[in-house]
A = this chain, B = another copy of it.
Amino acid sequence: MAQKPSIPKGTRDFSPVQMKRRNYIFDSIRSVFQSFGYQPIETPAIEMLDTLLGKYGEEGDRLIFKILNSGHYSSKIPKETLEELSNSPEVDPAVSYKLTSSISEKALRYDLTVPFARYVVQHRNDITFPFKRYQLQPVWRADRPQKGRYREFYQCDVDVIGSDSLLNELELIQIIDTVFTKLNTRILIKLNNRKILTGISEIIGHPDKIIDITTAIDKIDKIGLEKVNEELNNKGLPKEAIDKLQPILTLSGDYISKLINLREVLSDSDIGLQGISEMQIIYEMVRQLNLNTLVELDLTLARGLNYYTGAIIEVKSLEVEIGSICGGGRYDNLTGIFGLPDVSGVGVSFGADRIYDVLDQSNGFPEHTATTTQVLIMNFGDEEIRSALLFASELRSSGISTEIYPDPAKMKKQMSYANYHQIPIVVIAGKNELEKKQLEIKNMKTGEQIAVLFEEMVPFLKRILF
């Protein structure tokens, strides 16, 4: 009968200590979102497969977890699909795809953006725009699991839709700054703008090569300008275009000097100039706010080029070598796929799992995340338990989390339970103590033990614990 239990690869159990640390991250992020007036929503883990398919590219479609229809679903498989399955000795991958469409109509959420777009369209009559929402929920992807990449992981998304104002971009930068200041970990915010990238493509006349170009810029520091030019040539960019690119490839200096140089290079591109002017306005506002975080202009930032139309945002940890820990941007047509055009939005997503890894590797979790129970009351058996119950109730109503050890076990066992769970205080109220209307209070950190009267228990413990 006995099975050796395990969980699917790429998924994780979270122990109490991990949970407390994760909650520390989630609570910090949530409280900042709330302080900026964002509203929580949640969507179901299960969406209609149609809602998700075609939104994440071909690769994404394959990585969506599909749910088998319930009941006698196999009776719905078309005859010809069955024939194809039976006839081909080596089954053609396309047959799996066909079979899926006849036996699965639901799937697990793949990200929070598409469900959010679906939510907005479905509930548009109940929403007042601008709509500022946040959403902290897990998503699932059938990716090949590897270090730091999971099949179930949390996204913490914050978006505002229905407003074109650059104030929203600014606010997201403020939110990022406040979250990581709160988490006490150093970061760098990188900004780019899709319009600047479009401007560059316009100037050199090769819009299809924009990814090759950003990849090349990214390599300058490592391999040098000459090698980068060679690579661009190999990728099929003509000499003339490469020449025009030179001032962009060698762009340097701070945020503002980069913008000034770019303005010259892109002077013939209206959209490029618009991107530059947006980045300048954002920068001016950021400067006035005296953020703790450095904000950098980085033209190599090309995330989400399929859907971002304005600012692109990415956050790097300055403490641990790891991929981006937060990112997002402006999208002008999120809800168009569901029939509601012209709703502009901007948002970022915090990667809670990676932030966990950063804090873990840099010893960034505060001490209090290691404990929840503050007081353990020892169990000496039926006689003494009545008093223990009353003490525990009194402590809990005073806001002190309290356990009674459930069995009258040996003192040593009860003490080691307190140690294991890092419970800072043990209350000892045996027959002797009770007769004297006293209890012994043991500080598990210092080893000190003090007798106090019943009525002094709560004030005494409050002094130690708070």
Given contacts A163-B406, A163-B407, A406-B168, contact A142 B37 (CB under 8 A): no
Which A residues between 400 and 434 are near B, CB-CB below 8 angstroms?
A: 400-407, 416-417, 420-421, 423
**Stretch from A77-85, A190-198, A305-313 forming part of the interface with B:** A77-85
Expressed in whole angstroms, the Cα–Cα distance for A199 and B44 within the complex equals: 45
Given contacts A2-B338, A119-B13, A407-B164, contact A103 B41 (CB under 8 A): no
A28: chain B residues at CB < 8 Å are: none
Q: Is A151 at the interface (CB under 8 A from chain B)?
A: yes
A45 CB contact (under 8 Å) in B14, B103, B140, B402: B140
Whether the pair B37, A339 counts as a contact (CB closer than 8 A) is: no
Q: Is A450 at the interface (CB under 8 A from chain B)?
A: no
Whether the pair B128, A421 counts as a contact (CB closer than 8 A) is: yes
A385: chain B residues at CB < 8 Å are: 167, 285
Whether the pair A46, B15 counts as a contact (CB closer than 8 A) is: no
Given contacts A5-B121, A165-B406, A407-B163, contact A401 B45 (CB under 8 A): no
A47 CB contact (under 8 Å) in B7, B77, B118, B289: B7
Which A residues between 1 and 57 are near B, CB-CB below 8 angstroms?
A: 1-8, 11-16, 19-20, 23, 34-37, 39-48, 50-51
A389 CB contact (under 8 Å) in B140, B285, B336, B416: B285
A389: chain B residues at CB < 8 Å are: 170, 285, 288-289
A151: chain B residues at CB < 8 Å are: 46
A48 CB contact (under 8 Å) in B6, B70, B399: B6
**Stretch from A59-67, A250-258, A261-269, A355-363 forming part of the interface with B:** A59-67
Q: Is A130 at the interface (CB under 8 A from chain B)?
A: yes
Kindly supply a per-residue 1/0 record for chain A positions 163-185, scoring 1 wherever the CB is within 8 Å of any chain B CB and 0 otherwise: 11101101100100010000000
Whether the pair B85, A37 counts as a contact (CB closer than 8 A) is: no
A41 CB contact (under 8 Å) in B7, B14, B95: B14
Whether the pair B91, A36 counts as a contact (CB closer than 8 A) is: no
Whether the pair A46, B140 counts as a contact (CB closer than 8 A) is: yes
A47: chain B residues at CB < 8 Å are: 7-8
Whether the pair B167, A70 counts as a contact (CB closer than 8 A) is: no
A142: chain B residues at CB < 8 Å are: 70
Q: Is A465 at the interface (CB under 8 A from chain B)?
A: no
Whether the pair B126, A406 counts as a contact (CB closer than 8 A) is: no
Q: Is A372 at the interface (CB under 8 A from chain B)?
A: yes
* Identical chains in the assembly: 2
Kindly supply a per-residue 1/0 record for chain A positions 138-172, scoring 1 wherever the CB is within 8 Å of any chain B CB and 0 otherwise: 10101000000001100000001001110110110
A19: chain B residues at CB < 8 Å are: 39-42
Whether the pair A338, B5 counts as a contact (CB closer than 8 A) is: yes
Given contacts A86-B82, A403-B132, contact A8 B46 (CB under 8 A): yes
Q: Is A236 at the interface (CB under 8 A from chain B)?
A: no
Expressed in whole angstroms, the Cα–Cα distance for A289 and B66 within the complex equals: 51
Whether the pair B70, A68 counts as a contact (CB closer than 8 A) is: no
Determine the residue in chain B with the shortest Cβ distance to A93.
B72
Q: Is A122 at the interface (CB under 8 A from chain B)?
A: yes
A463: chain B residues at CB < 8 Å are: none
Q: Is A354 at the interface (CB under 8 A from chain B)?
A: no
A90 CB contact (under 8 Å) in B4, B43, B75, B174: B75
Whether the pair B15, A41 counts as a contact (CB closer than 8 A) is: yes
A118: chain B residues at CB < 8 Å are: 5, 7
Whether the pair A74, B68 counts as a contact (CB closer than 8 A) is: no
Whether the pair B14, A42 counts as a contact (CB closer than 8 A) is: yes
Whether the pair A65, B62 counts as a contact (CB closer than 8 A) is: no
A37: chain B residues at CB < 8 Å are: 372-373, 376, 401-403, 423
Whether the pair B44, A16 counts as a contact (CB closer than 8 A) is: no
Q: Is A235 at the interface (CB under 8 A from chain B)?
A: no
Expressed in whole angstroms, the Cα–Cα distance for A393 and B174 within the complex equals: 9
Q: Is A204 at the interface (CB under 8 A from chain B)?
A: no
Determine the residue in chain B with the shortest Cβ distance to A288.
B386
Given contacts A85-B82, A96-B75, contact A123 B379 (CB under 8 A): no
- Can you show 28 pairs from A to B with CB atoms below 8 A apart? A2-B337, A4-B338, A4-B339, A8-B47, A8-B106, A11-B46, A13-B41, A19-B39, A35-B396, A35-B402, A36-B403, A37-B372, A44-B152, A45-B138, A45-B140, A45-B152, A67-B108, A73-B96, A74-B85, A83-B86, A86-B86, A128-B420, A130-B407, A165-B379, A165-B406, A174-B393, A285-B389, A288-B390
